[in-house]
Structure 1
Amino acid sequence: MAIAVLCSTSATAQQRTRLTNQWQFLKQDLGGVWEAVRPVKEGNPESVPLWTNVTLPHCVNARDAVDPDENYYQGPAWYRTQLVVKNPYPRGRTLLHFEGAGQKTEVYVYTTRVATHVGGYDEWAADITEAVNAFMKQDSLVKQFKGKVPVAIRCDNSRDLEMIPSDLSDFNLYGGLYRYLNLVYTPEVSLDKVFAEAVTGKDGKSGSVNVRTRLYNPSSVNGGAEMTLQLLDPNGKELQQIRKKGVIDNAYRFDELKVNRLQLWSPEAPALYTLVTTIRTAGGACEERTKIGFRNVEFVKHGPFLLNGKRLLLRGTHRHEDHAGVAAAMTEEMMRDEMISMKEMGVNFIRLGHYQQSRIILNLCDSLGILVWEEIPWCRGGLGGDVYKDQARRMLTNMIEQHYNHPSVIIWGLGNENDWPGDFPEFDKEKIRQFMKELNDLSHRLDPSRKTAIRRCDFCKDIVDVYSPSIWAGWYRGIYTEYKEVTKAEFDNVDHFLHVEWGGDSHAGRHSENPDKSLQNIKAAGAADERAGDASLYGGAARASKDGDWSETYLCNLVDWHLKEQETMPWLTGTAQWPFKDFSTPVRPDNPIPYMNQKGVVERDLTKKEAYYVFQSYWTNKPMAHIYGHSWPVRWGNEDEEKMIKVYSNCDVAELFVNGRSLGTKKRNSQDFPAAGLRWNVLLKKGQYEVKVVAKKGKETVTDEIRFEYQTEKWTKPARLELKKIKEAGGIVTLQAQLLDDKGVRCLDATDWIRFGLTGDGRLLDDLGTASGSRYVQFYNGRALISIEKGKERVVVNARSGKLPMAFLDL
Structure 2
Amino acid sequence: MVIRKIFTALFLLGFTVQAVAQQKIRLSNNWEFLKQDLGGIWEAVRPVGKGNPESVPLWQTVTLPHCVNAQDAVDPDVNYYQGPSWYRAQLDISNPYAGGRTLLHFEGAGQKSDVYVYTTKVGSHTGGYDEWTVDITDAVEAFRKTDVYQKQFKGKIPVSIRTDNSRDLELIPSDLSDFNLYGGIYRYLNLVYTPQLSVQQLFAKAEVNAANKNGTVQISADLYNPSGKTNTAVTVQLVDPKGKEVNRFTKNINLTGGRTDLGTIQVTSPALWSTEDPLLYTVRVTVGTGTDQAVHTEKIGFRYFEFVKKGPFMLNGKRLLLRGTHRHEDHAGVAQAMTDQMMREEMVMMKEMGVNFIRLGHYQQSRTILELCDSLGIVVWEEIPWCRGGLGGDVYKEQARRMLTNMINQHYNHASVIIWGLGNENDWPGDFPEFDQQKIRAFMKELNDLSHKLDPTRKTAIRRCDFCKDIVDVYSPSIWAGWYRGIYTEYKDVSRAEFEKVDHFLHVEWGGDSHARRHSENPDKALQGITAAKAADERAGDASLFGGAARVSKDGDWSESYICNLVDWHLKEQETMPWLTGTAQWPFKDFSTPVRPDNPVPYMNQKGVVERDLTKKESYYVFQSYWTNTPMVHIYGHTMPVRWGDADEEKMVKVYSNCDEAELFLNGKSMGIKKRNSQDFPAAGLRWNLKFNAGNNTVRVVARKGKVQVEDNVSFRYQTEKWAAPAKLVLEKLSEQDGIATVQVKLFDAKGIQCLDAANFVRFGLAGDGKLIDNQGTSSGSRYVQMYNGTAIIKVELKGGKSVVSVAADKLPTAFLNL
Q: So what's the TM-score if we normalise by structure 1?
A: 0.98
Aligned partners of 1:7 and 1:186 also within 8 Å: no
Per the alignment, residue 237 of structure 1 pairs with 244
Pick aligned residue for 2:187 from 179, 192, 215? 179
Q: Does 1:295 align with 2:303?
A: yes
**Structure 2 residue identity aligned to 1:603:** E
Q: CA RMSD in A?
A: 1.4
Aligned partners of 2:302 and 2:415 also within 8 Å: yes
Per the alignment, residue 579 of structure 1 pairs with 587
**Structure 1 residue identity aligned to 2:99:** R
Q: Does 1:437 align with 2:448?
A: no
Aligned partners of 2:22 and 2:192 also within 8 Å: no
- Pick which of 238-247 and 544-553 moved more: 238-247
Once the 2 structures are TM-superposed, how far is the Cα of residue 208 of structure 1 from its aligned partner? Answer: 1.1
SS of 1:344's partner is helix
Distance in 2 separating the partners of 1:489 and 1:344:
32
Once the 2 structures are TM-superposed, how far is the Cα of residue 121 of structure 1 from its aligned partner? Answer: 0.1
Once the 2 structures are TM-superposed, how far is the Cα of residue 247 of structure 1 from its aligned partner? Answer: 3.6
SS of 2:369's partner is helix
From the superposition, tell whether residues 747 and 6 of structure 1 become closer, same or farther in structure 2 (CA, over 3 Å): closer
1:259-314: CA deviation from partner (whole Å, max 9, x where unpaired): 12321000100000000011005870101111000001100000000000000000
Q: Does 1:114 align with 2:122?
A: yes
Once the 2 structures are TM-superposed, how far is the Cα of residue 4 of structure 1 from its aligned partner? Answer: 6.1
Aligned partners of 2:220 and 2:263 also within 8 Å: no
Per the alignment, residue 356 of structure 2 pairs with 348
Distance in 1 separating the partners of 2:710 and 2:544:
42
Aligned partners of 1:653 and 1:667 also within 8 Å: yes
1:161-180 equivalence runs, <5 A: 161-180=169-188
Per the alignment, residue 569 of structure 2 pairs with 561
**Structure 1 residue identity aligned to 2:469:** K
SS of 1:476's partner is coil
Distance in 2 separating the partners of 1:710 and 1:152:
60
Once the 2 structures are TM-superposed, how far is the Cα of residue 15 of structure 1 from its aligned partner? Answer: 1.4
Aligned partners of 1:101 and 1:178 also within 8 Å: yes
Once the 2 structures are TM-superposed, how far is the Cα of residue 218 of structure 1 from its aligned partner? Answer: 1.7
Once the 2 structures are TM-superposed, how far is the Cα of residue 13 of structure 1 from its aligned partner? Answer: 8.6
Distance in 2 separating the partners of 1:186 and 1:255:
23
Distance in 2 separating the partners of 1:40 and 1:373:
50
**Structure 1 residue identity aligned to 2:729:** L
1:221-264: CA deviation from partner (whole Å, max 9, x where unpaired): 33x41001000000111010011114434342133211123210
1:330-365: CA deviation from partner (whole Å, max 9, x where unpaired): 000000000000000000000000000000000000
Per the alignment, residue 745 of structure 1 pairs with 753
**Structure 2 residue identity aligned to 1:28:** Q
**Structure 1 residue identity aligned to 2:244:** K
Per the alignment, residue 550 of structure 1 pairs with 558
Pick aligned residue for 1:82 from 65, 85, 90? 90
1:209-288 equivalence runs, <5 A: 209-222=217-230, 224-250=231-257, 251-280=259-288, 284-288=292-296
1:304-703 equivalence runs, <5 A: 304-703=312-711
**Structure 2 residue identity aligned to 1:655:** E
1:354-390: CA deviation from partner (whole Å, max 9, x where unpaired): 0000000000000000000000000000000000000
**Structure 1 residue identity aligned to 2:478:** S
Distance in 2 separating the partners of 1:467 and 1:405:
24
Per the alignment, residue 788 of structure 1 pairs with 796
Once the 2 structures are TM-superposed, how far is the Cα of residue 90 of structure 1 from its aligned partner? Answer: 1.3
From the superposition, tell whether residues 264 and 282 of structure 1 become closer, same or farther in structure 2 (CA, over 3 Å): closer
**Structure 2 residue identity aligned to 1:464:** V
Aligned partners of 2:71 and 2:334 also within 8 Å: yes
SS of 1:493's partner is coil
**Structure 2 residue identity aligned to 1:688:** N
How many residue pairs end up in the alignment? Answer: 807
Distance in 2 separating the partners of 1:252 and 1:388:
31
Once the 2 structures are TM-superposed, how far is the Cα of residue 45 of structure 1 from its aligned partner? Answer: 2.1
- Pick which of 791-800 and 78-87 moved more: 791-800
SS of 1:80's partner is strand
**Structure 2 residue identity aligned to 1:268:** E
Once the 2 structures are TM-superposed, how far is the Cα of residue 672 of structure 1 from its aligned partner? Answer: 0.1
Pick aligned residue for 2:136 from 128, 135, 139? 128
SS of 1:413's partner is strand
Per the alignment, residue 24 of structure 1 pairs with 32
Distance in 2 separating the partners of 1:750 and 1:602:
23
**Structure 2 residue identity aligned to 1:226:** A
Aligned partners of 2:21 and 2:295 also within 8 Å: no
Once the 2 structures are TM-superposed, how far is the Cα of residue 801 of structure 1 from its aligned partner? Answer: 1.0
Distance in 2 separating the partners of 1:78 and 1:526:
52
Aligned partners of 1:229 and 1:277 also within 8 Å: yes
Pick aligned residue for 1:70 from 78, 87, 100? 78
Once the 2 structures are TM-superposed, how far is the Cα of residue 5 of structure 1 from its aligned partner? Answer: 9.4
Distance in 2 separating the partners of 1:246 and 1:690:
74
Aligned partners of 1:91 and 1:283 also within 8 Å: no
SS of 2:800's partner is strand
Distance in 1 separating the partners of 2:112 and 2:286:
33
Distance in 1 separating the partners of 2:269 and 2:526:
59
Aligned partners of 1:278 and 1:287 also within 8 Å: yes
Aligned partners of 2:739 and 2:800 also within 8 Å: no
Once the 2 structures are TM-superposed, how far is the Cα of residue 42 of structure 1 from its aligned partner? Answer: 2.9
Once the 2 structures are TM-superposed, how far is the Cα of residue 37 of structure 1 from its aligned partner? Answer: 1.4
- Pick which of 646-655 and 194-203 moved more: 194-203
SS of 1:256's partner is strand
Distance in 2 separating the partners of 1:140 and 1:676:
73
Q: So what's the TM-score if we normalise by structure 2?
A: 0.97
Once the 2 structures are TM-superposed, how far is the Cα of residue 79 of structure 1 from its aligned partner? Answer: 0.2
Pick aligned residue for 2:783 from 754, 770, 775? 775
Distance in 1 separating the partners of 2:588 and 2:425:
20
Q: Name the % identity.
A: 72
**Structure 2 residue identity aligned to 1:674:** P
Per the alignment, residue 149 of structure 1 pairs with 157
Aligned partners of 1:92 and 1:283 also within 8 Å: no
1:730-777: CA deviation from partner (whole Å, max 9, x where unpaired): 100000100000000000000000000000000000000000000000
Once the 2 structures are TM-superposed, how far is the Cα of residue 491 of structure 1 from its aligned partner? Answer: 0.2
Aligned partners of 2:36 and 2:84 also within 8 Å: yes
Once the 2 structures are TM-superposed, how far is the Cα of residue 115 of structure 1 from its aligned partner? Answer: 0.3
Distance in 1 separating the partners of 2:149 and 2:409:
40
Aligned partners of 1:4 and 1:289 also within 8 Å: no
**Structure 2 residue identity aligned to 1:15:** Q
Distance in 1 separating the partners of 2:754 and 2:21:
65
- Pick which of 244-253 and 391-400 moved more: 244-253
Distance in 2 separating the partners of 1:236 and 1:381:
49
Mind listing any 5+ residue stretches in structure 2 that lack a counterpart?
1-9
Once the 2 structures are TM-superposed, how far is the Cα of residue 138 of structure 1 from its aligned partner? Answer: 1.3
Distance in 2 separating the partners of 1:434 and 1:754:
50
1:706-730: CA deviation from partner (whole Å, max 9, x where unpaired): 1000000100010000000010011
Distance in 2 separating the partners of 1:397 and 1:5:
27
Per the alignment, residue 5 of structure 2 pairs with none
Aligned partners of 2:21 and 2:296 also within 8 Å: no
**Structure 2 residue identity aligned to 1:454:** I
Aligned partners of 1:478 and 1:543 also within 8 Å: yes
**Structure 2 residue identity aligned to 1:167:** D
Distance in 1 separating the partners of 2:472 and 2:209:
26
From the superposition, tell whether residues 389 and 283 of structure 1 become closer, same or farther in structure 2 (CA, over 3 Å): farther
Per the alignment, residue 6 of structure 2 pairs with none
SS of 2:309's partner is coil
